[in-house]
Structure 1
Amino acid sequence: MTNLHPKFIAECPTIKLSRATFCRMRPIHILTTSFISRSTCLCTKHQNMALLLKALRKQDLEVPANPETFAKEGIAEEMLQNKLPDHVVFSQWKKIQIIEKEKKKFVTRIIESEKEKEEFIEYFMNQAEEFRGHVERVRKQYEEIKKLKENLPPNHLLVQMDFAENYSCKSVEEIQSAYWNQTGVTLHPAVAYFKDDKGDTQHKSFVVVSDEMSHSSSTVHAILEKLIPEMKTLISSIEFIRYWTD
């Protein structure tokens, strides 16, 4: 809004309007960036199930919009048989091959598909069963990681780590030709859990900045080896390190 106000004054010099009044007159359907919700790095299985449920809701079926709520409640196949039309249109996130600049590459996009009712019901029921298993595995994993934290033996470390994001590095004062010479770095946060002398669970956070962009298992091991000297300051002696990546 701060940038738009002087542009408006420049385009409409005959109108005298303060920035405060300009902001108040913003239409309610025009949202500022701080109020626009944009979720990234979502789970593919959760989003695909949400898209399937969206397709059912368009057919006036009473199903929850939340995929995990649906995993608990489910839906009867007879209801799908009775209420779905002969052809069902739905969307899914899929990896497809495209040709860009005469080169083949794979991209992930939302693809709209259409199936006959019987075919869609079979596809939906299979996806729902697979999704329930996915939700149960996630629940069990977090349940086990919680138990490990609570029952961590003395001189043992539990390190929870994952790659965060890749960033491009730029110079504060940069010449024009250097624009194409940007280097990249990745952030790899880690949290180490341990027991203190009183037996209470403590934790300490670390962030590794690296120009290794492969995000491979060997990179994770190298980062862990780099963190071990820092982790040795947390407890008197390290007997065992268990690490867990998302």
Structure 2
Amino acid sequence: MTYILTNKIQDDTEVEFEELKRVEVEGKKKMKIVKSKSTKEENIKHAQLQFRDFLHNVSRVKTQYTAIRNLKAHLPRNEILIHMDFAENFTCSNADKVQSAH
């Protein structure tokens, strides 16, 4: 990717792209795909940061998966493993609310 940005795009070219950003919609912050523009150099830095963060996330997921698999494989008799995943945008709702919605 860096090769394309550094060698195929001229230095003075403004790069247009779409990205997922948190924007205000009707008074609330929501994730939306928005069109953005930046210089070639800014775009390269942004792409490198995103890729670095992605690789860190992949590494973390692999480590967690290995740990959980190991715990399950060596779980003592009469014990359980509870895996709780706390996502950034996770929301809880009252169980009665969910039932009444059906």
What TM-score, normalized by structure 2, do the two folds share?
0.73
1:148 to 68, 71, 75: 71
Of 137, 155, 160, which aligns to 2:60? 137
Instruction: Measure the CA separation in 1 of the matches of 2:38 and 2:60.
Output: 30
CA distance in 2, matches of 1:136, 1:159: 22
- Give the Å deviation of 1:96: 0.8
* 4+ aligned runs moved over 4 Å, structure 1: none
Query: 1:194-231, CA deviations, whole angstroms, 9 ceiling, x for partnerless residues?
Result: xxxxxxxxxxxxxxx7x9xxxxxxxxxxxxxxxxxxxx
The residue type paired with residue 142 of structure 1 is Y
Q: Which has the higher contact order (CA 8 A, sep 6+)?
A: 2
8 Å CA contact 1:95–1:106 kept in 2: the answer is: yes
Partner residue in 1 for 2:7: 82
Partner of 1:105: 28
Note if contact 1:94-1:109 (Cα within 8 Å) is conserved in structure 2: yes
Indicate the structure (1 or 2) with the bigger Cα radius of gyration. 1
Asked if structure 2 preserves the Cα contact closer than 8 Å seen for 1:91 and 1:110, the reply is yes
Pairwise CA distance, 1:88: 1.3
Per-residue Cα deviation, 1:136-178 (whole angstroms, up to 9, x for no partner): 1111111111111101122321023569x989xxxxxxxxxxx
Structure 1 runs not aligned, ≥5 long: 1-74, 168-182, 186-208, 212-246
Identity across aligned pairs (percent)?
35
Deviation string 1:106-150 (CA, Å, 9 cap, x unpaired) is 122111111110110011111111111011111111111111110
The residue identity in structure 1 corresponding to 2:18 is S
Counterpart of 1:184, as a letter, is K
Q: CA deviation at 1:78?
A: 4.5
Alpha-carbon RMSD:
3.0
Q: Distance in 1 between matches of 2:21 and 2:5?
A: 24
Match for residue 97 of structure 2? 184
Secondary structure, aligned partner of 1:159: coil
Whose helix proportion is higher, 1 or 2? 2
| Separation in structure 2 between the aligned mates of residue 117 and residue 159 of structure 1, nearest angstrom | 47
For 1:95 and 1:125, the matched residues in 2 are separated by: 20
Q: Deviations over 1:34-90 (max 9, x none)?
A: xxxxxxxxxxxxxxxxxxxxxxxxxxxxxxxxxxxxxxxxx5x44421013512111
TM-score by length of 1: 0.33
Which structure has more strand as a fraction of its residues?
Answer: 1
Counterpart residue identity of residue 97, structure 1: E
